[in-house]
Structure 1
Amino acid sequence: MKIKNYFCFIAFFALACFFSCKSSEHEIACYDMKLRLVSDGEPLTGTEREFALRPLEDVILESEEDEKKKADEKESVAETNGEPEYLRYLFTPANEDGSEYSVTVAEGLYRLFEENNDLHVFVKVGAGENLAVLAYCSSFADASDALKDISAPSGLGVIVTDRDITALGYDNLLQRSVASSQNPVSLDIRKCTRSTLGFRAFYGCSSLCALQLPDSVTSFPKECFAHCSNLRYLNVGPGVKSIEGGAFISCENLSTISVSPSNRNYIVENSAIYLSDKKTLVAWPSAKGDIAVSADLITAYAFAGCPELTSVNIDCVSIQPNAFQNCASLQSVFLGKRVEDVRENAFIGSKSLTSISVEDGNTTYSAKDGMLLSKEGLRLFAWPSAQGSVTLPQTINRVEDNAFFGQKGLVSVYLPPQVREVGHQAFAECSDLSSVNMPGIVNIESYAFSKCPKLASVNLPDSLRRCDGSAFSECGALTTINVASGNSQYRGENGAIFSADGKTLIEWPAASGVITIPATVETIGTYAFNRCTSLEEVTMTSVVTVGHHAFDGCLNLKTVNLSESVRTIGSHAFSNCLSVENLVIPESVQVIKNYAFWFWGKNQTISAKAKRKPAGWDFAWNADCEAAVKWGVK
């Protein structure tokens, strides 16, 4: 009886019940192999099935051409000797219902080959191993429960080829099985002629040591091999046209990358991948020690997670975002005179980077005391080694976008009066930042201090003219915001920032419990309460406009009392407010922008007093919202 295409996968479970077969010269260990066929987690039944069990050698790390040549040579020898090289074993039932089959085989490396379905499973058979081998078919990807008892064998691991594997996306069945293995795994899917890779296809497969991909693969998406820390071999087939930034994050042992001679897009030199013209360095995952880079462009995440990289001499034009992210041992960077574009977060997480120097003649950048500055020294682009309490030089007037993004260990910052601007996300996600003093600041841009959980108080000077509504978003401990009495644009009250006339609520980052919006407020600004996860109830008395994303992500907000004064509700205003049971929308609301209630669930209700959708409500006002909508509610 043949296995049909719709069966999900085949799993070996080998018990270590070996016995000795002695000859006059040596002892041969033999093992009783038990085969179980499974579909959707349930055993299949039958009387008998026939498979070719083929002894093989050196299966991994061979090209398809080499394997074919070797097979041809073996077959030729076999014909000369008058014996078939590939022995055929008949699997007979091992239990009453016929769902298990068994055969006794000697120690060695084998391939199970079900000819009608072109299904191949490689397995090493040896002493003391608790073997469990799987073959995977994507058409039954949901049958993941059957994998719960499957683990890779010790020693060689598993190599799977299956023509039915198609798109391998994030958290796919094959990825989960390899990632959960406690032993090294080598994977060969070159025969999967319809396979493609998706985002994070093999993410976190730290047991994966070798991977051979089919020619059908045309792209390596972002993070598809990220954190495969023991991956040592990978092939780039002839059809690969795109390798996205971040594909090889923390693949520090990937020293052997084989590019097909037929590939016209990429080349490999010293374990680094370049575009074919060698002007763009795509990735150098195993870079270590002192290196020099002379390509015109270093792509995003090209060196991300290279733990043994200590020094780099860069003579290129552009360094893309996160290029040297989390290079833990990187101590020094030298920028040549050609460098003119260092993007945000280029050195984020590289805490050992104490020396940044710039070649004389560079017209864009300068460096001082571990800081990357503009040529004239007025703008600060990065200070990767900043820790504890720091004071910026008085020569600086602007902290650029993402300058300190995500830096841990930065506790307090003093920006001298000469510093007038803090850029987008300049200090965002600084998890240890608790104090900021900026007596001369004029402009605080979007998300400048967002997600700083320890930031408890901020003093805003009278010089401040613009503070974006998301500047302190998700700063849950920021209960004190003091605005200088002489400020003509803003005033502070109860941990919130208001316009000077009190008509606009700019931001209330640590709002919690039950609150009432002051009667003077007519506009709740964009991102004003964004992700205030401790906010439970809000009452509006005179509010006319609820801005975009105003209450986005207030996960524990249960009650919203909208007054009859409300006229406009902005896009995503109440997105992800998943605890609101019933929101009553008064008839005064004339405009609701798109996705205002994005991600609301079926257990939530929107009760509109209007009898039908008003003309001013966007056609997508409740797009991606499963909440029930009731009209004409009194």
Structure 2
Amino acid sequence: MNIFKYKKNKNEVIITGLQEDVSNTSIVIPETIDNMPVVEIGPRAFKLSNITDIKIGANIRKISEEAFGYCRKLHFITWNGTCDEIPDGCFFFCENLKTFDFSAIKKVGRYAFRASGLQEACLPENIEVVSEGAFDGCSELHSVIWHCKCNVIPSDCFFKCSNLKAFDFSSIKSIGKDAFNQGGLQRIDLPATVEKVYERAFHECRNLQFATWNCKCDEIPDSCFAVCRKLKSFNFAGIKKIGSHAFELTDLEKVDLPATVESISEWAFSTCNGLRSVTWNCKCDVIPADCFYECTNLKQFDFSGIEKIGKHAFEGSGLQEVNLPENINAVLVGAFERCGELQSATWSHKCELIPSNCFEGCLKLTKFNFANAKRIGQSAFRNSGLQEVRLAKNIKNVYDSAFYECRKLQFVEWNCQRDVIPDTCFARCSSLKEFDLSNVRKIEERAFIYSGLTSVTLSTGTAVGHGCFACCNDLEKVEWLSDESIEKNIFAECKNIKEILISDKVMNIAVGAFAASPNAEISFV
């Protein structure tokens, strides 16, 4: 009785599946059906079936993609066919397939053994091509012998092979993208034969402890060793380029960058929480964006060879002091943001702009010398620990929220060239009790909202923006000597004002301007 579904093609048979209700799980592919030779197994012919073993005879010239995919009980194969190619997805998710004889194979197709139960793979010289993802997700694979003619490990080849702890790279020229991503490798020794390594090749090899890079390839590609949590050291000798995220979330303790290094990309060493020492002797004079982001144990850095510091380069790091020498000519947004241990900062006179968010969240930074700066960017010192701010004539401009929520700020001297206090500049500065506004001609919206001011004196001609002093609960006295109108919400929710002096030149006081101050005495002067 024939148990196979099939179709005819020029007096030859292609098996397309099993008949319904076939109980036999041990399958032999026959040489003939209806006196016609069986020459091919069609696409997905046995996919999702319950077969446990199968014998493929010499008559089979071709096996098509996914022929045995999801045969979760399949544990043994006899491959005697003239077909020397394992097709794409042939055995993927065959969880009980522990072994396979590659002696007659020339090509292993894409994801051929994906998530199968293979425990070892011995690839002999007859194999000419190994395709992308061939052994992807083989979590039980613990041994690979690579003797095949193919000297390229393709992309995803051993992705998530978590039990593959060692690999001999001596015959390899190229390692593809994600080749060992999330694998179990504990040590990597790349010899001079290796000419190219691609992105994420060893990404998230969480047990990787040692990596020796002696290959011809002088570029560490993007995310190559990212999330290799046990990698504590790396020798950068001979390296010219370090890609983005290359060592992100590793446990590197020390980074020595020699003169050979010409280029370093963003996020290269980000979140290396064990990193304590960096020696920057490389040709690259730019610290790229997010390079040392969240390196919480990096306490110091020598900036003597640096010209530019990229965006968020040291954000969240453990730097305790920052001394920027004259060679620094540019610092970008958020360079030292959230450096919670930063106590001291010296600014380069060549760098005129303190950029946006530069020292935001630096709660231990209690003082700063602004003598070398000319402009202070948006939120530059937001939520920092500054206790006093002295702005002299060298300061040409201050941008919105520059000192927003500096809760320890007690004293401000405003003598800068620009006589405008920008939006929310000192908002939520709850310890700021006094402010000399005599040099100020304009105060923009919400500049002092929720601040700790106890008194406000405004000179003739000073313009005041919407909600400028709103919610200042410690405010007790207002002297409005300006001839500008008092608009609604300027003093909104200032509940403790007791004395208000208003110039008799004021033409308009908006309804509700002092509505939240029922006990205030108002006088016109």
When normalised by structure 1's length, the TM-score is 0.37
> Which structure: greater strand fraction?
1
Structure 1 or 2, whichever has the larger Rg, is 2
When normalised by structure 2's length, the TM-score is 0.43
